[in-house]
Amino acid sequence: MKAVVYDRYGAPDVQRLEDVEQPVPKEDEVLVRIHATTVTRSDCGVRGGKPFISRFFSGLRRPKQRILGTELSGEVEAVGAAVSEFAVGDHVFGSTSEFRFGTHAEFICMPESAPLARKPAGMSFEEAAAVCDGAILALMGLRPAGLRKGQRILVYGASGSIGTAGVQLARYFEAEVTAVCNTKNVELVRSLGADRVIDYTQEDFTKNVETYDVIFDAVGKHSFRRSRGSLKRGGIYLATDGLQNLILAPWTSRIGDKKVMFPISPRYTKKDVLFLKELIEAGRYRAVIDRRYPLEDVVEATRYVETQQKTGNVVLTVNGGQAR
């Protein structure tokens, strides 16, 4: 099968398309023929070996896993003898489990218990591939923060993968949503359900008099120090990046009346994928796609993601992204 591989850390061009052995499903696994996947911020960080501490998980001197990619949609090609949930021909979507990759390829084997479900009705393979990563990372923060009806949340970086998910999920939790993005994405973010949209090129939210129960930094470009004055007493700064937040999270949980929350270990579960499927089929969630590239153009796609200017998700299509 064709797959994008890399054998050393570095710039996007360390990736190359190569023929590799097609995996064979074990008793409890399904073999999925992938039609679409994505390039995420996590893929870029792992490929670059940054921050250096991440190499203790991905491989100190060289990557342990040669194939990146965590999100996928496709169809079941084969099933192991013990599999009962899926059948050959099922259209599926989902994500690999935490610290696992492998979707930048034509095929992948996944346990039946993995974060995998039948594709939402009426959704294309490309759209389905762009659902799980941003949405599950947003859920990981919003749930522990206890976001609920009537609370005020500000989503900073509301036009990215996690941000577009965060706006929609905050609306699902019935919070009052203020979203921050750049000029070109104001109308998009408003269409996702934001009650108010701030164009950060025109206004600094930290300099007005508004305060929030939760400030969700969906792009890792703000800080607790800068956001503190915009939090209510007992408010939460929800981080998605930044080593400093590893220290601030336990420190602020004991001292002061405003906290940093930083979910350290991603948890991707089938339960969350099924929850997102329900929201999609109820018309309460949609994937936002910026650009689509064929798998062989992964280097160009990765370079675009690393401009940090993408809106929503960047999708890779595999064999044209179409079912047989």
What residue segments make up the domains of the chain, in order of their start? 2-131+287-321, 134-261
Say which DSSP state 3 is in.
Answer: E
Please answer whether residues 25 and 86 qualify as being in contact, where contact means their C-beta atoms are separated by less than 8 angstroms: no
Tens digit of each residue's pLDDT (9 = 90 or more) over 219-259: 988 899 999 999 999 999 999 887 777 778 777 878 888 99
Answer whether 2-131+287-321 and 134-261 agree in fold. Answer: no
- Label residues 204-226 b or e (16+ Cβ within 10 Å = b): ebeeeeeebbbbbbbbbebbbee
Q: Which stretches of the chain drop beneath a pLDDT of 50?
A: none
Assigned architecture for domain 134-261: 3-Layer(aba) Sandwich (3.40)
pTM: 0.93
Q: What is the reported pLDDT for 150? A: 93
- Fold exhibited by the domain 2-131+287-321: Quinone Oxidoreductase; Chain A, domain 1 (3.90.180)
Written as six digits, the tokens of 50 are: 């940054």
Mean pLDDT of the chain: 94
